[in-house]
Amino acid sequence: MRTEKAACILCSRNCGLTMDIEGDRIVRIKGDEDHPLTKGYICQKAARLGHYQNHPDRLQQPLRREPDGRFVEVSWDEALDDIAQRLLAIRNRHGGEAFATAGGGGQGNHLGGAYLAQIRAAMKSRYNYNSLAQEKTGDFWLNGRLFGSQTCHTTEDVEHADFVIFLGCNPYQSHGIPNARDTLKEIKKDPARTMVVIDPRRTETARQADIHLQLKPGTDAFLLSAILSIIVREGLHDRAFLAAHCTGFDAIENILLNVPVADYVARADVPLADVERVARGFATARAACLRVDLGIQHTLNSTLNSYLEKLLFLITGHFGKKGGNNLHTSLVPIFSHTDERKQNIKRTVYHNMFPVSGIMPPNILPDEILLAGERRIRAMIVDSCNPLLTWPDTAAFEKAFSSLELLVVVDVALTETARLAHYVLPAASQFEKWEFTGFNLEFPVNGFHLRHPLFAPLGNSLPEPEIYTRLLEKMGVIPASFPWLEKIARHEPDAAAHLGFLAALTATLMRNKKLAPYGASILYRTLGKALPDNAAAAALLLPLAVDYANQHPAAVRRAGHRGNRLTLGTALFRAILRARSGLIFSVHEFNDTWSLVKHEDRRVHLEVPEMLESWRALEQQPSLPAGFPFILVAGDRRAYNANQIYRDPAWRKIDPHGALRIHPQDAATIGATNGSKVICESERGRIEVVAEIDDSVRPGMVVLPHGYGVRYQDSAPIGPQINRLTASTHCDPLVRTPFHKYVPVRLTA
Ligand code: SF4
C-alpha cells in the first residue's frame, strides 16, 4: 500500500487528492489537506476515479482499421510511419487548410494539447476545434472588446462578497467556485450576506438561496436588461467608478432608460418586486459579484447575455476589488487573442468563420468537412475528446467523420469517435503521466498543480508528449536528437543554471527559425531528459514560468518565491517540479486588475456596437417552432454525471438512465409516469428516455443530463445521446456557441 498525491480531473476545480494505492489499483481517495487551494475539499465524484483508471475498455496497443471495418493491433512505428506519410501527402497536395485538430486538453489534461499544437504547425493549419468554443467563446470575444484582449478573463470573488448572484449555474453540482458546497454554506448561514440564484430550475443551489428568480428558459437577456434598467433609472450605478475606469457609458444609459421593465420582467415570468430587490441589493452592496456559466452561455442571446452580466458588475463598480469580479493572470496561457477584424486572421472555407481566442466552434465543423468542396478538411487528429457525442448534431458528425481521408484518435478508450477512426492511438491515463491542472483562474491568489504519474502507462500506451514528438520526428520536421542542447541540459540541472539552457535554446531557435513552433518537443527531448523523476513533459513549463515571473515579479515574490530579476522564474519552475500537492505561484493586489486591462488607456470600453445592435433587436426574438411545445435544457449537471472519461456505468450510484426530468403537470398531460419511457423528439432527431417526475423544473421545460450515451464493453448506448437532438445551426449568430439549454422538443409517452 502506498499513498500518493493527485488531483481530480472531473471539473475545472481540480481538487487536490490523496490516493491509497495497492498494486495497480486505487483503493481509497480523499481530499488532500496540503493542496494550497482546495485544502482537503472534494465532492462525491472524485471518490469514484478508480472506475476511470481501471476498466476493461482501456486501450493498450495502437489500432488500425482495416477495409472491412475491423481494428487490428499494430506497432507504434507502423502506425506513426503511416500517419506521418499520409499527413504529409495531404498537406503537400491540398495545403494546411485540409487538416484540423479537435480537442487537446480536457479537464486537467492540458499538457497533451500543447504538444498537439505542434502538429498543426507542421501541417501549416490554423484550424483548432475545441469544446471551449462551444461554451465560452462569446465570453472571450466580449473580453476582447471590453478589456482590449481575449486573453483577459474575469473571475469572481464569491468567498468575500456580501451579495452573490449565481446566474445560469448550479455550483452545488457544477462547482466552478472555490470549495463550492462549503462556500455556499458559509453564505447561507451568514444573515448579512445574500445569495440570489437565477435559473429556470429550482436547483440544489437555488434551494439555499435568499432569492430565486425561476425565469422562463431563454429569457435571461430580458431579465438582465430589466435589472440594469432599474439600477440606472434609480441612479444606483457607480458614477465615480464609471468616470474613472470606463468609456462609453452614455450609449448604454440611453438604451437602459428605454427598457420596458415591467414587460421584460413579465416575459421572464418572475415577480417584479423580487427583481427590484435583486437590482437594488446588488447595486448597493459593499461587495457584490456574479458567477455565471453555461446556463446563460448555452441559450438564446448567448453573447448578449455575457455582455449584460458584465455590464451589471461594471456599471455598479463591483470590479477590481475584494468581493467583486476581477481579471486574473495565468501561468499557462490557455487563451490567446485573435481579433477577427484583422486581415491575417484565417477564416474557414465554407462558413467564413473566424477563431475566437485561437479556437474554432465545433458547430461548423461537419460543414467544413462535407460542404467545402476541394478546400474541405480531409484529415483530423482528435485528442482526448469525443465529438461524436459531445458536440452538436451527432448524425452530422457521424457522416462528416466517416468521409475523412484520415482520422486519427488519441484516447484512453475506444470512444464513439474512435470507432470511426483509421488509427486509434492509446494514450496513458491521467494518472500514468505528468500532467497539470490549467484552469486555475483565481485572483488575487492563484495556484498551479503539476501532477506526477502514479502508475506506469498501461500496456503499450504512451503519454501524448511522446506520441506527438515521435510523430513530428517521423514527419521530418524536427531531428531525432539535439546533442548540443542535451549536453547543456545534462550539466545544468538547477534553478540558476536553467538560464544557460534557455540562452542555448534561444540561440538554436534563432539560428533555425523553422524549429521555433516545436519548442515543446525540443524541450521534452533535451531539458526533459535531465529533469528529476522523468518529468520530461513538464520541461515546457520552464519558459512559461520565466515569462510569468518577468511579467509579474511582485506577485510571484508575494507568493514566497525567491530569486533575482533573472532567476525568479527558474526558481518558480523548480518549485513547481517539487510541489507534489501544487503551490501558490502568485499573490496579486486588487489594484493590479487595472494593469491587466489591455486597452492602451487602461479603461473598460463599455460600448460594443455589435452588442448594442443585438440588444436593440431583442424584441424580435423568434417564438417556438410549431409542433415542439417543450424546451429541453440539455446538459444538466447532476450528482453522478461528469465529462465522458467515466465510461464504466458502475461509477454511478444513482440515475443510471440519465432521466428526463419533467414537471408533474406536463407528465400528466403526456401520460408519463416515474420510470416510464418517453420519446423526446426535436427538429433534428429523436431519442428514447426514461421519465422522472420532478417539480423543480418549470412547466413547459424538461431537462436531460450530459455525459451519458457511451457504449461500454460493446453495450448499446447507456443513457441519452443528447446531441442526436441538437442542431449545429441552432447557435449564437456571432460566435456559433450552441443553444443546448434551449432545444424545442415534443414528447410522446
Ligand atoms: S468533480 Fe470537481 S469539485 Fe468534485 S472533487 Fe472533482 S474537481 Fe473537485
Give me ligand 1 centre to Cα 275, in Å: 32
Question: Is the minimum distance from the CB of 730 to ligand 1 under 6 angstroms?
Answer: no
Residue 664 has pLDDT above 70, yes or no: yes
Classify residue 359 as left (phi > 0), alpha (psi -120 to 50) or beta: beta
**Do 160 and 307 lie in a common domain?**
yes
Residue 149 cell numbers, joined: 484582449
Alpha helices in 324-432 (DSSP H): 365-370, 387-390, 394-402
pLDDT of residue 492: 60
Residue 441 has pLDDT above 90, yes or no: no
**CB distance 165 to 282 below 8 Å:** yes
Asked if residue 188 belongs to a domain, the reply is yes
Taking only the tens place, the pLDDT of each residue in 458-483 is 999 999 999 999 999 999 999 999 99
Give me ligand 1 centre to Cα 508, in Å: 42
* Ordered DSSP codes for 78-123: HHHHHHHHHHHHHHHHH-GGGEEEEE--BTTB-HHHHHHHHHHHHH
Our CA dihedral for 554, 558, 562, 566, rounded to 10 degrees, sits at -10
pLDDT, mean of residues 521-542: 95
Task: Output the residue whose Cα is nearest ligand 1's atom 4.
Answer: 43
pLDDT, mean of residues 383-394: 96
**Do 607 and 677 lie in a common domain?**
no
Residue 556 cell numbers, joined: 510571484
Question: Is the minimum distance from the CB of 14 to ligand 1 under 6 angstroms?
Answer: yes
Give me ligand 1 centre to Cα 557, in Å: 29
Question: Is the minimum distance from the CB of 334 to ligand 1 under 6 angstroms?
Answer: no
**Do 167 and 36 lie in a common domain?**
no
Q: Which long-range contacts (CB under 8 A, 24 or more apart) does 473-482 make?
A: 474/80, 474/81, 474/83, 474/84, 475/84, 475/87, 475/88, 475/122, 476/84, 476/88, 477/122, 477/514, 477/518, 478/515, 478/518, 478/521, 478/522, 481/525, 482/508, 482/522, 482/525, 482/526
Question: Is the minimum distance from the CB of 645 to ligand 1 under 6 angstroms?
Answer: no
Give me ligand 1 centre to Cα 36, in Å: 15
Give me ligand 1 centre to Cα 294, in Å: 17
Asked if residue 60 belongs to a domain, the reply is no
Probe target for ligand 1 pocket from 41, 49, 175, with the most ligand atoms within 8 Å of CB: 175
Alpha carbon distance 108, 45 (integer Å)? 15
pLDDT of residue 425: 97
Task: Output the residue whose Cα is nearest ligand 1's atom 2.
Answer: 11
Asked if residue 87 belongs to a domain, the reply is no
Asked if residue 194 belongs to a domain, the reply is yes
pLDDT of residue 36: 96
Asked if residue 198 belongs to a domain, the reply is yes
pLDDT of residue 619: 87
Taking only the tens place, the pLDDT of each residue in 621-655 is 777 889 999 999 999 999 999 888 899 999 999 99
**Do 628 and 567 lie in a common domain?**
no
Taking only the tens place, the pLDDT of each residue in 92-144 is 999 999 999 999 866 567 888 999 999 999 999 999 999 999 999 999 999 99
pLDDT of residue 210: 98
Question: Is the minimum distance from the CB of 489 to ligand 1 under 6 angstroms?
Answer: no
For all residues of the chain together, what is the average pLDDT? 96
Question: Is the minimum distance from the CB of 29 to ligand 1 under 6 angstroms?
Answer: no
Q: Which residue has the cell 522523468?
A: 534
Contacts of 494 (CB under 8 A, 6+ apart): 574
Give me ligand 1 centre to Cα 42, in Å: 6
Question: Is the minimum distance from the CB of 46 to ligand 1 under 6 angstroms?
Answer: yes
Probe target for ligand 1 pocket from 10, 18, 177, 293, with the most ligand atoms within 8 Å of CB: 10
**CB distance 5 to 17 below 8 Å:** yes
**Do 609 and 629 lie in a common domain?**
no
Residue 501 has pLDDT above 70, yes or no: yes
Which run of H or of E encompasses 360? none
pLDDT of residue 439: 76
Question: Is the minimum distance from the CB of 13 to ligand 1 under 6 angstroms?
Answer: yes
**Do 647 and 611 lie in a common domain?**
no
pLDDT of residue 620: 84
Task: Output the residue whose Cα is nearest ligand 1's atom 5.
Answer: 42
Give me ligand 1 centre to Cα 266, in Å: 37
Question: Is the minimum distance from the CB of 15 to ligand 1 under 6 angstroms?
Answer: yes
Full-model pTM:
0.97
pLDDT of residue 621: 78
Question: Is the minimum distance from the CB of 48 to ligand 1 under 6 angstroms?
Answer: no
Q: Which of 114, 28, 193 is nearest to 517 (CA)?
A: 114
**Do 561 and 661 lie in a common domain?**
no
Question: Is the minimum distance from the CB of 478 to ligand 1 under 6 angstroms?
Answer: no
Alpha carbon distance 231, 215 (integer Å)? 19
Give me ligand 1 centre to Cα 449, in Å: 14
Taking only the tens place, the pLDDT of each residue in 211-248 is 999 999 999 999 999 999 999 999 999 999 999 999 99
pLDDT-wise least confident of 249-263, 635-649, 718-732, 733-747: 635-649
**Do 317 and 171 lie in a common domain?**
yes
Asked if residue 99 belongs to a domain, the reply is no
**Do 562 and 626 lie in a common domain?**
no
Q: What ligand 1 atom has the least distance to the C-alpha of 7?
A: 7
Residue ranges making up the domain that contains 694: 622-748
**Do 194 and 323 lie in a common domain?**
yes
pLDDT of residue 574: 95
**Do 184 and 315 lie in a common domain?**
yes
Question: Is the minimum distance from the CB of 175 to ligand 1 under 6 angstroms?
Answer: yes
pLDDT of residue 107: 59
Question: Is the minimum distance from the CB of 8 to ligand 1 under 6 angstroms?
Answer: yes
Question: Is the minimum distance from the CB of 107 to ligand 1 under 6 angstroms?
Answer: no
* Ordered DSSP codes for 540-598: GHHHHHHHHHHH-HHHHHHTT----TTTHHHHHHHHHHH-TT-EEEEE--GGGHHHH--
pLDDT of residue 674: 97
Residue 343 has pLDDT above 90, yes or no: no
Domains identified in the chain, total number: 4
pLDDT of residue 622: 75
Asked if residue 510 belongs to a domain, the reply is yes
CATH number at residue 323: 3.40.228.10
Q: What ligand 1 atom has the least distance to the C-alpha of 31?
A: 5
Residue 351 has pLDDT above 90, yes or no: yes
CATH number at residue 9: 3.30.200.210
Question: Is the minimum distance from the CB of 177 to ligand 1 under 6 angstroms?
Answer: no
Q: What share of residues in the chain are helix, strand, coil (percent, to 5)?
A: 40, 20, 40
pLDDT, mean of residues 679-684: 97
CATH number at residue 739: 2.40.40.20
Asked if residue 341 belongs to a domain, the reply is no
pLDDT, mean of residues 425-453: 92
pLDDT of residue 106: 63
Question: Is the minimum distance from the CB of 310 to ligand 1 under 6 angstroms?
Answer: no
Contacts of 652 (CB under 8 A, 6+ apart): 640, 641
Give me ligand 1 centre to Cα 405, in Å: 39
Residue 337 cell numbers, joined: 487573442
**Do 178 and 262 lie in a common domain?**
yes
Probe target for ligand 1 pocket from 9, 13, 169, with the most ligand atoms within 8 Å of CB: 13
Question: Is the minimum distance from the CB of 11 to ligand 1 under 6 angstroms?
Answer: yes
Question: Is the minimum distance from the CB of 42 to ligand 1 under 6 angstroms?
Answer: yes
Task: Output the residue whose Cα is nearest ligand 1's atom 7.
Answer: 14
Taking only the tens place, the pLDDT of each residue in 31-49 is 999 999 999 999 999 999 9
Task: Output the residue whose Cα is nearest ligand 1's atom 8.
Answer: 15
Kindly state the percentage of the chain with pLDDT values over 70: 99
pLDDT of residue 108: 60
Q: What ligand 1 atom has the least distance to the C-alpha of 42?
A: 5
Question: Is the minimum distance from the CB of 10 to ligand 1 under 6 angstroms?
Answer: yes
Give me ligand 1 centre to Cα 14, in Å: 6
pLDDT band at 15 (very low <50, low <70, confident <90, very high): very high
Give me ligand 1 centre to Cα 17, in Å: 10
Taking only the tens place, the pLDDT of each residue in 173-202 is 999 999 999 999 999 999 999 999 999 999
Q: Which residue has the cell 483577459?
A: 152
